[in-house]
Structure 1
Amino acid sequence: MEGDETTSAGGGSAPSAPGGLLQQILSLRLVPRAGNVTGAPCPTALCHFSEMWYGVFLWALVSSLFFHIPPGLLALFTLRRHRYAKFMSVSILLMGIVGPIAAGTLTSAAIAGVYRAAGKEMIPFEALTLGVGQSFCVVIVSFLRVLATL
């Protein structure tokens, strides 16, 4: 019996719980976390507001970096000899980090709030879809120049 408790708790230490949540969200595997195994209403889903917010925010940040790092490196490589334009690559890379931290925090909280108010659970794949969707919408609005027409 005692061996079953240690294997189901994943080591039983409290500091491993955030790493377990990060692993669950990024790997998209539906494995129970250490603090969410025994007697939990949703052992394989994200059911608390903070878990849902963190999942959507994390995927928005990762996908935003995925969209911004290649153009930033390309700009750095092509404009490296220009006196002032080489700093544009730094601004592109900063927008990949600052954008999701500023706006992504609020929109991820709004999404998690709607899920929580509706009493729904969120699986990690939904967090992936919603986080990448946020970044994709930012890219589409940037390329279509919708805001310039208003």
Structure 2
Amino acid sequence: MEPEGSGGGGGGSAGLMQQILSLKLVPQMWYGVFLWALVSSVFFHVPAGLLALFTLRHHKYGRFMSVSILLMGIVGPITAGILTSAAIAGVYRAAGKEMIPFEALTLGTGQTFCVVVVSFSRVLATL
């Protein structure tokens, strides 16, 4: 991070990225949770996308739902998964704890499990 008054302009997003990377969360904690979230999400969404493609292959517009399911399984963990994984790693760093690989596995797959539960429940439809 830059000291106050150093006047380092560089743009807002570049400065924010510099601050995030200076927390030294990568690669062990942040990256491990993120990779497990991505792998477990792809593990759930690829079969769902293939099933949608198989069952809706003759439908005029329904076949494109499989593409959106596959994109959601990849884009979702890349965008939201990065933020939540960094937040989890930040809590571990602030607590001064080390994260073992099994914890990264549990937290990463837990993120995907929460997304699957919310997707299958009708909570979002009631909002």
Question: In which range does the TM-score fall when normalised by the shorter chain?
Answer: 0.7 to 0.9
Show the counterpart of 1:128. Answer: 105
Residue pairs, 1:62-81, within 5 angstroms: 62-81=39-58
Counterpart amino acid of residue 54 in structure 2: F
SS state at 1:88 partner: helix
Counterpart amino acid of residue 115 in structure 1: Y
Show the counterpart of 2:8. Answer: none
Structure 2's unaligned 5+ residue stretches are 1-23
CA distance in structure 1 between the partners assigned to 2:70 and 2:116 by the alignment: 14
Following TM superposition, where does structure 1 have runs of at least 4 consecutive aligned residues deviating by more than 4 angstroms? Answer: none
Bigger relative contact order, structure 1 or 2 (CA pairs below 8 A, ≥6 apart): 2
**1:149 positional shift:** 2.3
Structure 1's unaligned 5+ residue stretches are 1-47
SS state at 1:49 partner: coil
**1:49 positional shift:** 1.5
CA distance in structure 1 between the partners assigned to 2:43 and 2:77 by the alignment: 12
User: What is the TM-score with the length of structure 2 in the denominator?
Assistant: 0.78
Give CA deviations for 1:13-72 in whole Å, capped at 9, x if unaligned: xxxxxxxxxxxxxxxxxxxxxxxxxxxxxxxxxxx6112000000000000001111110
SS state at 2:91 partner: helix
Q: Percent identity?
A: 83
